[in-house]
């Protein structure tokens, strides 16, 4: 019996993944001044035993003002770096899973409460901070407007991404994903709904692409050439007059020509006025369209929950890999169960080998 396509190897640049299941970045809102805590040790530790091909750490702020919430993970200081090093050292001791990191800046969605605290903006007098964005346009009607970034501040943000990328390299992280989706800063530059600048960074599509491409090029130059750098992008704002698939294709081709290692296709998040057509595979058409237009590998997301569903996405060529987030939180052994169902094998720690069901004798590869 042939190996299911979902469980065949995949190369992202020079990094070879054992299979095509990616654990997507998932914000935990559990850091302290940007520093990883014991929560991250537990959270990442058990996901590292999942059998997935790649684990990407949550959106990690490149500066304090770039945090979504006061409890966001960060990588702007020596303290942040050392705290994350402790976590990664423990994870690597027991798991061979490749580890990447998503670097981001929240832009106008910064200074927000954790979801279980309501998610609204934190007032300045309660420890919040002034958000920065391409233009002084608030995300929600009740939000205070962000400050429009000056040319000097743009340079600083780019340099913050570069500094975080260098810290990621010192930590031995094997991949960087830049967060250009979900309404955060790089996405805000792309969308005409949030970018109404009148300088070389606003207006035309070419101008709106300029800053995200500058950040990508700077990070690509700062991170080792043999390690992949990719981007998560939104295929659509799902709002009238916003970012759409045609513009996404232009961005994808520009990134492809600059040596981007992969794209992770998502959607929405820029405006509360969005109308998202939720349903299984609802974002896979973005991946399919972009994959047809570029040479680099494409990762698909969008209510992918079942093994046969994931296998069909890869097997039909709609994408090169699938990424799971909430489904992985609900079932941290999803790749084990998918491998058992589809007739494949996954890595499992020696301590867990005895858990292999008798009917799936070839399920586990020992470490």
Each residue's pLDDT tens digit, 290-308: 999 999 999 999 999 999 9
Of 134, 95, 129, 135, nearest to 112 by C-alpha is: 129
Interval 55-76: pLDDT, tens: 999 999 999 999 999 999 999 9
Domain segments of the chain: what residues? 5-366
Respond yes or no: is residue 184 known to be catalytic: yes
pLDDT of amino acid 367: 61
Phi (first) and psi of residue 211, to 5 degrees? -70, -45
SS (H, E, C) 326-352: HHHHHCCCHHHHHHHHHCCCEEECHHH
Chain CA centroid to CA 1, Å = 34
Please determine, for residue 311, whether its predicted confidence score (pLDDT) is greater than 70.
Answer: yes
| CATH architecture for segment(s) 5-366 | Alpha-Beta Barrel (3.20)
The mean pLDDT value for 228-243 works out to 98
Please determine, for residue 357, whether its predicted confidence score (pLDDT) is greater than 80.
Answer: yes
List 29, 94, 184, 201, catalytic entry:
184
The mean pLDDT value for 232-238 works out to 98
Interval 91-138: pLDDT, tens: 999 999 999 999 999 999 999 999 999 999 999 999 999 999 999 999
Which residues fall within 8 angstroms of residue 250, CB to CB, at 6 or more apart? 205, 209
d(CA 168, CA 176): 8
pTM above 0.85, yes or no: yes
Interval 193-225: pLDDT, tens: 999 999 999 999 999 999 999 999 999 999 999
């Amino acid at each position: 019996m042939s190996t299911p396509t979902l469980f065949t190897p995949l190369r992202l640049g020079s990094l070879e993944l054992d299979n095509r299941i990616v654990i997507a970045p998932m914000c935990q809102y559990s850091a302290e001044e940007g520093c990883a805590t014991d929560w991250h040790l537990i959270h990442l530790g058990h996901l590292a035993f999942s059998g997935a091909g790649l684990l990407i750490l949550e959106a990690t702020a490149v500066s304090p003002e770039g945090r979504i919430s006061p409890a966001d993970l960060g990588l702007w200081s020596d303290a942040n770096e050392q705290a994350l090093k402790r976590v990664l050292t423990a994870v690597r001791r027991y798991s061979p899973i490749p580890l990447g990191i998503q670097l981001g800046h929240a832009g106008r969605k910064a200074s927000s409460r954790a979801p279980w605290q309501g998610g609204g903006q934190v007032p300045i007098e309660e420890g919040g901070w002034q958000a920065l964005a391409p233009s002084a346009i608030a995300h929600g009607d009740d939000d205070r407007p962000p400050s429009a970034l000056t040319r000097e501040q743009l340079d600083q943000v780019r340099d913050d991404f570069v500094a975080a990328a260098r810290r990621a390299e010192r930590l031995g992280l094997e991949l960087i994903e830049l967060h250009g989706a979900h309404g955060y800063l790089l996405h805000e530059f792309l969308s005409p709904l949030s970018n109404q600048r009148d300088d070389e960074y606003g207006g035309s599509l070419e101008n709106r692409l300029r800053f995200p491409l500058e950040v990508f090029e700077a990070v690509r130059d700062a991170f080792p050439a043999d390690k992949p750098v990719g981007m998560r992008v939104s295929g659509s704002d799902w709002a009238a007059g916003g970012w759409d698939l045609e513009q996404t294709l232009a961005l994808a081709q520009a990134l492809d020509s600059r040596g981007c290692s992969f794209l992770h296709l998502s959607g929405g998040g820029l405006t509360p006025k969005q109308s998202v057509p939720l349903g299984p595979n609802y974002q896979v058409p973005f991946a399919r369209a972009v994959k047809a237009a570029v040479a680099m590998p494409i990762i698909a997301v969008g209510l992918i929950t079942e093994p046969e569903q994931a296998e069909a996405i890869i097997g039909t060529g709609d994408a090169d890999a699938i990424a799971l987030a909430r489904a992985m939180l609900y079932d941290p052994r999803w790749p084990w169960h998918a491998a058992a169902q589809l007739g494949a094998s996954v890595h499992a720690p020696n301590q867990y080998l005895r858990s292999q069901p008798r009917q799936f004798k070839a399920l586990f590869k020992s470490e």
